[in-house]
């Protein structure tokens, strides 16, 4: 039995279609309309009729639900639906849940989606009335109010322990911006970034400046997941879900993970162990990476967690253009959350698919493997995709 454990998921499902709306600071349509547009576009991309859809997966923070979406797009009888928690930590888990449902025969055509008006809508941290007493009672009264403040604490400690500098964080911001400058769909398509702009930008929460923070975007995305056996009938080149994992480390505390023995080893480390255990290849074989970038310091932390370098080496890894096209690990090749759109990381999944189809705006030549990760610093998830 040991030899076959996990074999049920490996390459059993494929991402057959992707769809998205425009990305902007403000879109006029409702989140529900945007969700339906993205889903219909993804089904059209796959060449699959909406009436064939029998599974849905999204985030617990998603405001549109299966009932409304299914009846609007004309889905058939739905036999599987699931939601993954912890904000952007759930992005890859939506695809993982669909792949598992399809591999185990619970459904045959799954849709994962995220629709969010975070650009024109309110900032969640301003709504103090709904914040949970735990752990907010230990942090909010002291003015640790926003995700940028919470991650800023880890970033400062990381700089102190390992000699990371603002230039390392700039390397991340620049790589994402450079790729966005090649992507006409990106919010920052025509907005180049320079080191001087970065170093003189206003602070948000020292040590993090404006350009260390992701965008605030309106937009929606979706993808269609089907069984691998169906891949030959599809309109697009299939992208295989090779491995998938979620990660909630022992004694983890969410974004304010200051109360564990080692706060700088986050959920990425847990997800990575499971992800690589199930895979036929390792970090050195990854051609291109889409790593969750709500904040620049999450990239060096994730590079360490997913095994691209050793503990404390994530900042140095970003040097010498390593994250740029032609570098050691091209990163967030459509611009990521920092410069394409911040839709809780779903645009990282769709860009992974484009890279493996060979249709990306900043295409990595012959890319055959891609790591996609969800939010780090919260219970997370990740996918290994292959062509």
Give the residue with the Cβ less far from other proteins, 17 or 152.
152
User: Any idea what DSSP says for residue 331?
Assistant: B
Give the residue with the Cβ less far from other proteins, 142 or 365.
142
Active-site annotation holder among 59, 162, 198, 292: 292
Residues paired with 209 in a beta bridge: 203
- Beta strand spans in 232-368 (E): 239-247, 288-290
At residue 31, φ and ψ (nearest 5 deg) are -60, -35
The Cα–Cα gap between 306 and 266 comes to: 11
Q: What's the distance, CA 385 to chain centroid? A: 13
Residues paired with 83 in a beta bridge: 58
The Cα–Cα gap between 52 and 39 comes to: 13
Least distance in angstroms from the C-beta of 261 to other proteins: 5
162 in catalytic set: no
Give the residue with the Cβ less far from other proteins, 28 or 122.
122
Least distance in angstroms from the C-beta of 23 to other proteins: 22
Closest by alpha carbon to 314, among 297, 332, 327, 337? 297
Give the residue with the Cβ less far from other proteins, 152 or 377.
152
Least distance in angstroms from the C-beta of 260 to other proteins: 8
306 in catalytic set: no
**Helix (H), strand (E) at residue 41:** helix 31-46
Least distance in angstroms from the C-beta of 284 to other proteins: 32
The Cα–Cα gap between 355 and 94 comes to: 20
β-pairing, 380-386 vs 369-373, is antiparallel
The Cα–Cα gap between 183 and 23 comes to: 12
* Maximum alpha-carbon separation in the chain: 58
Give the residue with the Cβ less far from other proteins, 110 or 379.
379
Least distance in angstroms from the C-beta of 134 to other proteins: 5
Active-site annotation holder among 158, 162, 240, 342: 342
Give the residue with the Cβ less far from other proteins, 203 or 285.
203
The 3-state DSSP class for residue 295 equals strand
Query: Which spans of this chain sit near other proteins (rule: CB under 8 A)?
Result: 123, 126, 128-129, 131, 133-146, 148-149, 152-154, 156-157, 160, 202-208, 251, 253, 256, 258-261
C-beta atoms surrounding 196 within 10 Å: 8
User: Any idea what DSSP says for residue 213?
Assistant: B
Q: Which residues are catalytic?
A: 292, 342
């Amino acid at each position: 039995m040991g030899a076959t454990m996990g074999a049920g998921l490996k390459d059993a499902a494929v991402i057959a279609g992707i769809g998205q709306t425009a990305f902007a600071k403000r879109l006029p349509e409702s989140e529900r309309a945007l969700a339906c547009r993205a889903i219909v576009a993804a089904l059209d991309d796959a060449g699959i009729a909406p009436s064939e859809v029998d599974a849905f997966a999204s985030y617990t923070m998603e405001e549109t639900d299966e009932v409304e979406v299914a009846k609007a797009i004309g889905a058939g009888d739905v036999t599987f639906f699931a939601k993954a928690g912890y904000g952007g930590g759930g992005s890859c888990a939506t695809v993982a849940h669909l792949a598992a449902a399809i591999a185990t025969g619970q459904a045959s055509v799954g849709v994962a989606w995220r629709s969010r008006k975070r650009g024109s809508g309110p900032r969640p941290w301003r709504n103090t009335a709904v914040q949970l007493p735990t752990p907010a009672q230990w942090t909010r009264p002291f003015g640790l109010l926003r995700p940028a403040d919470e991650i800023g604490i880890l970033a400062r400690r990381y700089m102190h322990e390992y000699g990371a500098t603002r230039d390392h964080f700039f390397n991340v911001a620049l790589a994402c911006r450079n790729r966005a400058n090649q992507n006409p769909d990106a919010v920052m398509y025509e907005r180049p970034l320079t080191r001087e702009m970065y170093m003189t930008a206003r602070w948000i929460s020292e040590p993090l400046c404006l350009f260390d923070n992701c965008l605030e975007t309106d937009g929606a995305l979706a993808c269609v997941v089907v069984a691998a056996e169906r891949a030959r009938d599809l309109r697009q080149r299939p992208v295989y879900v090779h491995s998938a994992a979620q990660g909630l480390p022992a004694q983890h505390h969410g974004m304010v993970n200051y109360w564990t023995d080692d706060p700088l080893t986050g959920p990425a480390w847990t997800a990575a162990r499971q992800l690589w255990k199930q895979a036929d290849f390792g970090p050195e074989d990854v051609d291109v990476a889409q790593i969750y970038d709500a904040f620049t310091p999450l990239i060096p932390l994730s590079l360490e967690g997913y095994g691209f370098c050793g503990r404390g080496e994530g900042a140095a890894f970003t040097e010498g253009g390593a994250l740029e096209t032609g570098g050691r690990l091209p990163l967030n090749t459509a611009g990521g959350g920092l410069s394409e759109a911040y839709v809780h990381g779903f645009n990282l999944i769709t860009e992974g698919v484009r890279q493996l189809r060979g249709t990306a705006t900043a295409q990595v030549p012959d890319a055959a493997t891609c790591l996609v990760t969800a939010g780090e610093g919260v219970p997370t998830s990740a996918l290994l995709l292959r062509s």
